[in-house]
Homo-oligomer: A and B are copies of this chain.
Amino acid sequence: MEPDDRLLRQFVGYNMKRAFIPVQEDVSETLATLGLRVGTFSALAVIMASPGISQTQLSQVLNIKRSGVVLVVDELEGMGAVERMPVESDRRAYALQVTPEGRKLWQRAESAVQAHEAALFADLAPEELRVLRGLLDRAARSGARRRRGEKQ
Contact = CB atoms under 8 A, between A and B. Distances in A.
B117 A23 contact: no
Interface residues of A, number: 69
Q: Is the interface of A mostly helix, strand, loop or mixed?
A: helix
- What is the oligomeric copy number? 2
Contacts of A58: 3
Contacts of A144: 22
A132 B12 contact: yes
Nearest to A96: B3
A24 B13 contact: yes
Interface of A: 1-27, 42, 45-46, 48-51, 53, 57-58, 60-63, 110, 113-114, 117, 119-124, 128-129, 131-133, 135-147
